[in-house]
Amino acid sequence: MESQKKTFWHYFKKRRMAVGGLTLILITFLIAGLAFFLAPYDPGKTEVSMKLKAPSFQHLLGTDQLGRDIFSRMLYGSRISLSVGFVAVGISIFIGVLVGALAGYYGRWIDSLLMRFVDTMLCFPSFFLILAVVALMGPSIFNIMVVIGVTSWMGTSRFVRAEFLSLRERDFTQAAMALGVKDSRIIFRHILPNALAPVFVTATLKVASAILIEAGLSFLGFGVQPPAPSWGNILTEGRTYIFDAWWLTVFPGLAILITVLSFNLLGEGLRDALDPRLRGRK
């Protein structure tokens, strides 16, 4: 196990873009965790006399139409955007791994039934399905996390199923079956740890996707509701003043761009480092 970790790190650190993405992600997490200490103002404090002020030493990223400090709102918004991304992906990965493991291990009618359900779910355009469900349930942070999670697990289930179909035929799995080891132990103790490599890559890319979906929902008014700040609704509030107050859209847009790009770069680096077929590629 230790040699595997060393091998992984040896190949991963060669991917400079991936290491840069990981560094930016860690910085974003640090900023989100220290938002309470770093924010110079209360993110919900309004001061009409200071509305739509351009970036200055007093307000580093300017103020919005209510005089709220954009820098402070961006710091607190990072918490919500990252929370939505990780909780939604956690739900998605849990469902996807469970469905894929059951389908790949048991096969036969269980595999056929579960995979037809996956195919049915894939027929629906994901964003419009999420939009419809959120509209029915009502926009809230909790609802957004759950809805994104339960509508984005299908790709993970297919990856895990493929890994299980292969690993089920390996000698160590056949030996465990011959010894009468319980199915649950074979699935979660013997096969699943060896099938997690593509899941890690998928999870990293899905976090970026979830952040984008949250931003899109907030932009349309179905996401995180004011006064709670998220990068998406800060961007939404600025669209009315896009020609008069450019900072209201540029800074949250850049934050979303950089964060999503960082997760994508990290995912690409993980894929290259974990897949032996891609390790020799520069």
Domain boundaries, the chain: 71-278
Residue 9 in tokens:
């790190």
For residues 174-180, give the mean pLDDT: 81
* Greater pLDDT, 260 or 215: 260
213 pLDDT band, cuts 50/70/90, is confident
71 pLDDT band, cuts 50/70/90, is very high
2 pLDDT band, cuts 50/70/90, is low
Give the pTM: 0.84
- Mean predicted lDDT score pLDDT of the chain: 84
Q: What's residue 276's pLDDT?
A: 58
Three-state DSSP at 197 gives helix
Across 151-180, b (16+ Cβ under 10 Å) vs e yields bbbbbbbbbbbebbeebbeeeebeebeeee
Q: What's residue 66's pLDDT?
A: 87
At residue 153, what is the residue type? W
- For residues 168 and 191, the answer to whether their CB atoms sit within 8 Å is yes
Tell me yes or no: is domain 71-278 CATH 1.10.3720.10.
yes
* For helices 108-122 and 154-167, angle between their N-to-C axes, nearest 10 degrees: 150
Half-sphere exposure of 151 (CA within 13 A, CB side): 21
281 pLDDT band, cuts 50/70/90, is low
Contacts of 185 (CB under 8 A, 6+ apart): 176
* Residues 102, 93: Cα–Cα separation, whole Å: 14
